Amino acid sequence: MKRTGKFYWLCQICGWGAYTVVGISSSVLEHGWTRDVWGYTFFFLYNIGLTHLLRGIIKHRHWASLPLPQVLLRLGVASVAIGVIQAALVVGIYTALEGSLGVWRDWHAVAFLWTGVTIATTVWNILYLAIVSLRHSREARRQQNQMQIALGNAELRALEAQLNPHFLFNCLNSIRGMIVEDAAHAQDMVTKLANILRYTLQRDRNHTVPIETELEAVSDYLALEAVRFEDRLRIHIDLTEEVRRLEIQAMLLQTLVENAINHGVEQSPESGLLSIRGVREGERLRIEVENTGTLQNPESRSTQIGLANARERLRILYAERATLDLLASQPGRVTATLLIPAIQ
């Protein structure tokens, strides 16, 4: 608000100052240093005074929020009225200083004076309106941006790859069975499940984590799936130390791995292979998650939704700098390829 006020006074003084200086200069050039200079000084002061008064009315009555034709009508009337008041003041002050009407005895001169100040006031009005609307639209845009960011966060939460409930309940069921068969193994499974749940619930949304951290959750997840699938699941992880230190969107790798399990390994009655590879390619990080299986038919909506959600999450965090593709890399193999900026 303070900055707005300063800017307003600067405009007022500079604008009317310039107008007055032009008046004084032409008067001095034409008639030399006469008392007209005083007249112009008063002119400067009450121009500022009157337009400041007008600004008060505009603000108080919220003219800026009225429809444009109404604003223009009001400002037009205000310009004419201010023109009349100013003309009266000029003539009044001149008469008070000189003791007679002088040149203002000619109504042409008064009309000329009135036209001049009305035009000046109109210009003031237009400038004032333009600045105010510009500021309003800027403010609106800023609010819109803020809203979009908030919306983005909400969207991200909605899109957030939740832990697959199908996995969760199957896992609990396996643990229930394991308690009878191998209590120590069952305890280990509970710990791993707790780790995954903690990771899913606690991780800082909207942020990245070192691949190493993500991989811990993925490994626990795979260990639990291995209990379910027993000899049906073979896992191969190939990530260098350098790659493991890079940052990745939380739950991204987990989503890809879960997808590979659900649509690949889970669907194949024989043993399924899952392999995770990562390479740094200059400024980019390429991660491939390959699984045995065939690409789901296009009508399978779950794959499409999962993929679309993952892409949307990528877009929110990495903008256009990330891609995710799902391809049948070779017969009986499906590969999800992720390209993201390599962030240390």
Partner 1 sequence: MKALIVDDERLARQELRRLLLAHSEIEICGEARSGEEALACIRRQAPEVLFLDIQMPGMTAFDLLEKLEDVPQIIFTTAFDIYALRAFEAGAIDYLVKPVAPNHLAAAISRLRPPASASSLQRVFVKESDRCWLVQTTDIYLLESEGNYTRLYFGNERALIPRSLSALENRLDSSVFFRASRRHLINLRWVAAVEPDVAGGLVIKLKPGIDVEMSRRRAALFRQALSF
Residue numbers at the binding site for partner 1 (CB under 8 A): 165-170, 172-174, 176-178, 180-181, 227-230, 266-269
Q: Which is nearer to partner 1, 118 or 263 (CB)?
A: 263
CB of 149 to partner 1, least distance (A): 34
| Shortest reach from residue 280's CB to partner 1, in Å | 35
To partner 1, the closest distance from the beta carbon of 331 in angstroms equals: 18
Give how far Cα 185 sits from Cα of 176, 197, 289, 292, 343, Å.
Answer: 11, 18, 28, 28, 38
Closest CB to partner 1 among 263 and 313?
A: 263
Cα radius of gyration rounded to whole Å, the chain: 38
Q: Smallest distance from the beta carbon of 158 to partner 1, in angstroms?
A: 19
Query: Nearer to partner 1 by C-beta: 209 or 227?
Result: 227
Q: Which residue has the tokens 């001149």?
A: 94
- CA angle 154/284/151 to nearest 5° reads 10
* 319 Rama class: left (phi>0) / alpha (psi -120 to 50) / beta: left
Spell out the residues 6+ positions from residue 316 whose beta carbon is closer than 8 angstroms to its own: 152, 155, 156, 159, 206
Instruction: Give me the least distance between CB of 178 and partner 1, in Å please.
Output: 6
Please, which residue, 86 or 192, has the CB nearer to partner 1? 192
**Residue 259 beta carbon to partner 1: minimum distance, rounded to whole angstroms:** 15
Q: Which is nearer to partner 1, 99 or 165 (CB)?
A: 165
d(CA 212, CA 219): 10
**Which residues neighbour 325 within 8 Å (Cβ) at sequence distance 6 or greater?**
336, 337
> Is 7 or 169 the residue whose CB approaches partner 1 more closely?
169
3-state secondary structure 84-129: HHHHHHHHHHHHHHHCCCHHHHCHHHHHHHHHHHHHHHHHHHHHHH
CA distances (Å), origin 98, targets 37, 42, 111: 13, 15, 20
Tell me whether residue 83 or residue 272 sits nearer to partner 1 (CB atom).
272
Q: Which of 326, 237, 233, 225 is nearest to 271 (CA)?
A: 233
The minimum distance between CB 279 and partner 1, in angstroms, equals 31
